[in-house]
Amino acid sequence: MFTVAHELAHVALSESAVFDLRDLQVAEDPVEKFCNLVAAEFLVPAKEMRENWAGKHLIPLLAHRFKLSEIVVARRALDLNLMRREQFLSFYHEYKSREWVSRSKSGGGNFHWTARYRMGLPFSRAIIQSVREGTTLYSEAYRLTGLKRETFEKYTEFIAKL
């Protein structure tokens, strides 16, 4: 959501740029800084954040309220000087390790449902039908879907059951 709001700010300014939020560092470019501020204010208004902030223990509740990740809310708290940098980094590392443990215990999601969501059912059915009719080569279907041969075949079986 942050990226979408950030890029919309670029569109409103008629300024193009590539958004990059690696390491959650503040951008140096003035346009990037402005777009970051617009996105942050759109997603987590400063007034609401300040009114509802009572410490980092409420980050999960605020994340739910604003419908954003805990990291975005924590970063907004840092930017609004509601958290110190050390607190944010501590929270960030704890969150990442919690997320990693959660992922490793869950066993992951369902690949076929994720692929169906990513590609969309109409596209999936169209590409499968086109391959069956011989109007699209398998190699092209693999390239278009990002799937390898065996995975494509299993995905085709999965889609046929829907």
Give yes or no: residues 12 and 90 share one domain.
Answer: yes
Q: Which long-range contacts (CB under 8 A, 24 or more apart) does 8-13 make?
A: 8/39, 9/34, 9/35, 9/38, 9/39, 10/35, 12/38
Domain span at residue 87 reads 2-106
Span 135-151, average pLDDT: 93
Residue 27 has pLDDT above 90, yes or no: no
Give yes or no: residues 102 and 115 share one domain.
Answer: no
Give yes or no: residues 39 and 81 share one domain.
Answer: yes
Give yes or no: residues 100 and 117 share one domain.
Answer: no
CA distance 44 to 101: 28
| Whether the predicted model's global pTM rises above the 0.85 cut | no
Give yes or no: residues 131 and 72 share one domain.
Answer: no
Residues 79, 82, 84: CA angle, nearest 5 degrees = 80
Identify the pLDDT of residue 19: 47
Give yes or no: residues 22 and 57 share one domain.
Answer: yes
pLDDT tens digits, one per residue of 59-115: 999 999 999 889 989 999 999 999 999 999 999 988 888 766 555 555 567 889 889
Give yes or no: residues 70 and 28 share one domain.
Answer: yes
Give yes or no: residues 44 and 119 share one domain.
Answer: no
Give yes or no: residues 135 and 70 share one domain.
Answer: no
Range of lowest pLDDT (8-12, 15-19, 113-117, 156-160): 15-19
Last residue of a domain, which of 106, 124, 151?
Answer: 106
pLDDT tens digits, one per residue of 29-57: 788 888 888 998 999 999 999 999 988 88
Domain count, the chain: 2
Residue showing tokens 């398998």: 138
How does DSSP assign 66-97, residue by residue?
HTS-HHHHHHHHHHTTSS-HHHHHHHHHHHHH
Last residue of a domain, which of 64, 88, 106?
Answer: 106
Give yes or no: residues 117 and 146 share one domain.
Answer: yes
Q: How confident is the model at residue 132 (pLDDT cuts 50, 70, 90)?
A: very high
> What phi and psi, each to the nearest 5 degrees, are found at residue 81?
60, 30
Give yes or no: residues 115 and 64 share one domain.
Answer: no
Higher-confidence position of 18 and 15: 15
Give yes or no: residues 74 and 146 share one domain.
Answer: no
Last residue of a domain, which of 83, 106, 129?
Answer: 106
